Each structure stands twice: as structure tokens, then as C-alpha cells.
Amino acid sequence: MTVQNAINWPERYLPGTGDNFVSNEVIVKGLTAAQVWHYLVDTSTWESYYDNVADISFPQGDGPELKDGVGFSFGTFGFPPLAAGVVELQEPAEGVPGRLSWTAQQDGPPQERLHVLHAWLVEDLPGGRVRILTQETQIGQPAAELAQQTPNPMLNGHQAWLDGLVRAASGHSG
């Protein structure tokens, strides 16, 4: 029997308690968590494999690699750049899944406020496989509006991110 790990959720962002939640997962043979990890934590690679992210910056001069506690900002889903901060980062190792999560927010009038937690789990599985799970909880009116669309743009956007991440880690472009 193989046991798969789960995302660590802060209470505020517990799935099903916000205004929008999506979960995307792929399991791929022939890749390792370490190969995937580089393309996930090095933000300078994001735009090469995911077209729904732009304007990545590190206001405190950190980056482009994400580290625990680092603040950054980025634009996505048509929102102005969101202020983000890494809240969990654990590099994958033998028997230990890679974990990355950040919070991001957009302030302003109530109809524009958005708070999210975007989490990633990357783990090696038996048989030369890697599992990549990404989940996000969003709170705020813009999130509720996304959740009402069919299909949910965040679900499709995150699937495109996963697919691009796998292509990049596999050494394939486009």
C-alpha cells in the first residue's frame, strides 16, 4: 500500500471554508520530485512554461528563487500584481515530500479584496513516478465570482500550470 501526503492547511484557508477552492493533481512516470522542484521554486522559469503569470518581482530584493518567508508579487488571472509571501517551503528529500505554499492578497474596497493560500506538494512515488498536487483556497468577492464560472478559470489555469511544469521538468518546451 502506498500512502500519499496531503497539504498542510492553516485554519483560515481550510478547503471548503472560503469562496473558491480548486485541487489539481498529476502523477507522472519518469520524473523525480527534485527535477520538478527546480521549476517550481525558481520563479524566473515560470513564464517559460505557464502563460497565466506575469510581472513577478521581489520588493525586498530577494529572488528569483523562493525561500521560506520571502515576499514577492505577481500578476495572474487578470488581477493586478498580488502581494505574496512564502509560508511553507520544504525541499523534497528521500521519503519527504516537497512542500511550498504562499499567501497572496489584493487590498482595496470590499468588492476587490482577495486573500489566497496556494499550496504545492511534490513527492516521489514507487515505480519511478512523481506526484504533483496543487490546491488553492481563495477568500473574497473576486474569488466567489471565479467560482461561479463554468468551468472554473482557476481549475483550468492550475491544470495548465501543472502541465507546463511537467513539460519543463521533462526538458520539453511549449
Could you read off the pLDDT of 20-33 as tens digits, one per residue? 999 999 999 999 99
Please tell me the pTM assigned to this model. Answer: 0.94
Per domain, the residue ranges of the chain are 19-170
Percent of the chain with pLDDT over 70: 98
Q: Give CATH for domain 19-170.
A: 3.30.530.20
Neighbours of 123 (CB within 10 A): 20
Q: Is the per-residue pLDDT at 2 higher than 70?
A: no
Q: What is the mean pLDDT of the chain?
A: 94
Q: Is the per-residue pLDDT at 162 higher than 70?
A: yes
- Nearest Cα neighbor of 24 from 136, 138, 148 is 136
3-state secondary structure of 31: coil
Each residue's pLDDT tens digit, 85-142: 999 999 999 999 999 999 999 988 989 999 999 999 999 999 999 999 999 999 999 9
